[in-house]
Amino acid sequence: MAKKIGHITILVRDYDEAIKYYTENLGFALLSDNNFGNGMRWVSVAPSKDSATAIVFVQADTDEKAERVGSQAADHVFLVIETNDCRRDYQNMKSKGVQFYGEPKEVPWGIEVVFEDLYGNRFDLLQHNGL
């Protein structure tokens, strides 16, 4: 039986602000935005349209969810975004206001830099070196 991770959820304050940030600032593709009424929406984005795994936005509609917006992995990296050119993507995203923790640096497994989304969730932008 073939298995894979299809979706990962991220809590957001507002669907539209999250869509705008992820597509315009991070350069993600909007894969779906389906409105089912009564505040129910299925919104998914991914680094590119052909990504195997997508991020689904879940609106923080309770106090418990609202407390966790931006801290789904506390102060640790939540997700790793793989790229074929870390420095290019860093420059592009930085020019659009993305907050980075330093600059891309060479590490034994490639080139990487940590950034955060509009809520404070941390991501690792990683260019593998072929290991």
Q: From edge to edge, which strands make up the β-sheet containing 99-107?
A: 77-82, 122-128, 110-116, 99-107
**In the numeric block, which tokens belong to residue 117?**
């989304």
pLDDT digits (tens, 9 = 90+) for 88-108: 999 999 999 999 999 999 999
Grade residue 2 by pLDDT with cuts at 50, 70 and 90. Answer: confident
pLDDT at position 95, please?
A: 97
Spell out the long-range contacts of 60-68 with Cβ–Cβ below 8 A and sequence spacing 24 or more: 60/11, 60/12, 60/13, 65/11, 66/11, 66/13, 68/11
What ranges in 14-129 are assigned the alpha helix state H?
A: 15-20, 63-68, 86-95
Element (H, E) at 8: strand 7-12
Fold of 7-128: 2,3-Dihydroxybiphenyl 1,2-Dioxygenase; domain 1 (3.10.180)
- Partners of 100 in the beta sheet? 115
pLDDT (average), residues 59-72: 94
pLDDT digits (tens, 9 = 90+) for 9-54: 999 999 999 999 999 999 999 999 999 988 789 999 999 999 989 9
**In the chain, domain spans:** 7-128
